[in-house]
Structure 1
Amino acid sequence: MDAIIVNATALKSGGGLTILRQFIGALPEDGNEYVAFIHRSVTVSDAGKNLRIIRTDVTAPHKRIWWDVAGLKRWLKKNSIRPVAAISLQNTGFRVPGKCPGYIYYHQPLPLYINRWSLLKKTERTTWFYKNIYPLYIRLFLNSRTEIFVQLTFLKEAFSARFRFPEEKIHVVFPEVNIPAVKNVYNCPVDNNCLNLFYPVSGEVYKNHDILFRALASIDDRPERKTALYLTIDEKGLKKPDLKNVTFVFLGPLSHDNVLWLYSKVDALVFPSYIETLGLPLIEAAAAGLPILVSDLPYAHEVLTDYSGAEYIDYKDHTKWAEAILRLQVTKGTKFVAYKSVRRDSWEEFFSVIESRLQKPGRNGVIS
């Protein structure tokens, strides 16, 4: 049996799982057969008739390496499946029998940024690994038959520079972004007399929570009004200041519906992260017409092109963040025209590239 092989065994949560589910939902019934390897915990509800799903658990580092290098290839041989293309949705390639085109959907930003990390600092060991060791694994599977898909133009340029990979073999496919209607599902008190700032964030050091803490501490004694900062992380381990005129609200992880609800209640989004592939909250906040304070970096400029409500700030300068927050205290309640980015159908473009590379039978049944 001939088939397009899809490797997505590591995608079981977060943005990676979203990519997998969108991929399956967009899979065309184009005459090709697909075999997708996914994590055993993942459920999918809209798989097409031309998709065979194989569930496995190879997420442990040693199992992941074995699977990518030899295990998947062995499984295909055992089951008499001949790959006509190999698609990885999880940043690194994998080996298959024979020589066929390989495609990697790349969405890991850490190797592409210039920031340095220390192996000696507990909070930076994971980022150090992705910056210094993970690229070696990425390189292992790059060859003349490989093509790359990334979400933004700056990632295309950065990937090409980092891995000395030809830009003409890197495709930019802006991800599908669906923003559902806001539901009244959350019961979080929001004081309309305060300036309410929102940062939907995880706990990584590069999310740069500390710059907001320092900025708010520096203006605590001269507020135009009290300020509340809502964060979607737990307080444990964070060094927040004890302030008179600022309230920190640590919400912990929230459902997407609850995040959207908060966009409808707060005054502004603050987003000082200095490492991102996309920054989905930027699109969601812009769609709500919110003022946005964001790091002055390429990802933000590209995502928020033409949005009038964004202010770009040096992610290392807490005084600039403080000044911008003071301006928001004066202009509280300002809204901008809701932003709708005009993008092509990214998955249609993705599958179009792959289809154009597939070998097709000629008139005499000969593969051309």
Structure 2
Amino acid sequence: MRIVVSDYAATPTSGGTYSILEDFYNDVLQNDLGNEWIFILAGRYFPTSDNVKIVIREDLKKSKFKKLLFELGTGRRFINRYRPDVFISLQNISTVGVKSKIKITYLHQSIPFYREHRFSFFKSQERKVAMYQRLVGKVIKYSLSKEQPVTIVQTEWMKKAVVQQTRLSPARVLKVSPKVPFIDDGKYYANQRHAFFFPATAYVYKNHRLILDAIQELKRQGYDDFTVSLTLTPQQLPDAHNNVELLGFIPRQQVLKMYEDHVLIFPSYIESYGLPMLEAAQKADLILAADIPITHEVLAGYSNVYYFDYRDPAALAELMRKVLVGDLQSDLQPIKLTYQNESVLQTVQQVIKKKSGE
């Protein structure tokens, strides 16, 4: 069976999207020797084998217009040259017109399905998000409605949103929690009272501004003996003040280390899953999280999370104050991962098996 995978949008600097590709590719390379795999990527990022090949389309990564044209028009001819039995898109859009019996799309971009706030092209900090929400989102929804692929999402919230906003039936949308690295090193939260941490990129919906406003509220109340560490640079957050430590990008092992003696703040109001919350919860970390459906879904049953209105800096400041004075402490009980999460490859193999038997 010949399987063609499209993910030219992912590069080593693209964060979580590249992690999804890297994990999937390595899984295929090591654990599927019986099928022929062709990956359409922006670069030769991985080794190949007798049955796993890479086709490079760096040009599609460089031009948004060319990418759009590929997904809605020229891509069908390029991909159909390989006569795929299965076509998989790991980049949210199901390329229109691909001739394959089985089509699968991994949908990890939640911005187009977020309706509580309409981002503006006229605000510089919102422009890129507005493009995803209002332009790329239309292409995603159109492609899913037209091509009717089996679509993999990460949360129940996302499944409901996809069913409501596309013509996909619930049977075609699979909710599969991403494979969460299991952390079992015996090191748990040390009930640190004066150090907070939020590992996130600089997108406006990550809500760093709320943290800065909460810090100002705490300082007005006379609290100043604390730090908040962020994985941003001075260029990304030029108005950060003395209580903010800007770390820039740090490797995952350092992120995991930070959870041991920092309280996690998670003010983001748009998420596909929110992996940092589960990483921290496995160390019994105290978590202050935005009160949105995904945080409740991901942290269901966890005893050390406290929720706040992501639009209200005073609400976050009050929880931070309670941490500072010792009113909020971890009970040192890590989250219990009760579900059996599977790899993307395992999900794909199950879909192929089921569809091949139809």
Q: Tell me the residue number matched to 1:8.
A: 7
Residue ranges of structure 1 left out of the alignment (5+ in a row): 183-191, 360-367
Aligned partner of 1:4: which letter?
Answer: I
**1:90 deviation in Å?**
0.2
**1:34 deviation in Å?**
1.9
Picking from 270, 287, 294, the partner of 2:289 is 294
The 3 A distance-change label for structure 1 pair 97 and 252 is: closer
Aligned partner of 1:253: which letter?
Answer: F
Please give the residue correspondences for 1:66-81 in structure 2 after superposition, counting only pairs within 5 Å.
66-76=69-79, 78=81, 81=82
Richer in helix (by share)? 2
Q: Tell me the residue number matched to 2:151.
A: 148
**1:110 deviation in Å?**
0.7
**1:198 deviation in Å?**
0.3
Q: Give yes or no for contact 1:152–1:277 (8 Å, CA) kept in 2.
A: yes
Rounded to whole Å, the distance in 1 between the matches of 2:102 and 2:148 is: 5
1:2-56 deviation line (CA, Å, top 9, x unaligned): 512111111113111111122123335373322111121x5225x6643222222
1:239-296 deviation line (CA, Å, top 9, x unaligned): 6475xxx611111111112211211232x10011111111111011111111000000
Aligned partner of 1:316: which letter?
Answer: R
Q: Tell me the residue number matched to 1:249.
A: 245
Q: Give yes or no for contact 2:80–2:99 (8 Å, CA) kept in 1.
A: no
CA RMSD of aligned residues (A): 2.5
**1:211 deviation in Å?**
1.2
Rounded to whole Å, the distance in 1 between the matches of 2:74 and 2:256 is: 41
| 3-state SS in 2 of match to 1:159 | helix
Q: Tell me the residue number matched to 2:320.
A: 325
Picking from 121, 124, 127, the partner of 1:122 is 124
Please give the residue correspondences for 1:58-207 in structure 2 after superposition, counting only pairs within 5 Å.
58-59=60-61, 60-76=63-79, 78=81, 81-95=82-96, 98-114=99-115, 115-142=117-144, 143=146, 145-179=148-182, 195-207=194-206
| 3-state SS in 1 of match to 2:243 | strand
1:192-232 deviation line (CA, Å, top 9, x unaligned): 99610001121111111111111121121435671111000
Q: Give yes or no for contact 1:225–1:329 (8 Å, CA) kept in 2.
A: no
Calculate the TM-score normalised by the size of structure 1: 0.85
Aligned partner of 1:21: which letter?
Answer: E
Q: Give yes or no for contact 2:92–2:105 (8 Å, CA) kept in 1.
A: yes
Identity of aligned residues (%): 28
Rounded to whole Å, the distance in 2 between the matches of 1:285 and 1:10 is: 29
Residue ranges of structure 2 left out of the alignment (5+ in a row): 186-190
Q: Give yes or no for contact 2:183–2:279 (8 Å, CA) kept in 1.
A: no
The 3 A distance-change label for structure 1 pair 149 and 193 is: closer
The 3 A distance-change label for structure 1 pair 97 and 306 is: closer
1:115-147 deviation line (CA, Å, top 9, x unaligned): 111111111111111111112211342336422
Q: How many residues align?
A: 342
Q: Tell me the residue number matched to 2:335.
A: 339
Rounded to whole Å, the distance in 2 between the matches of 1:193 and 1:280 is: 21
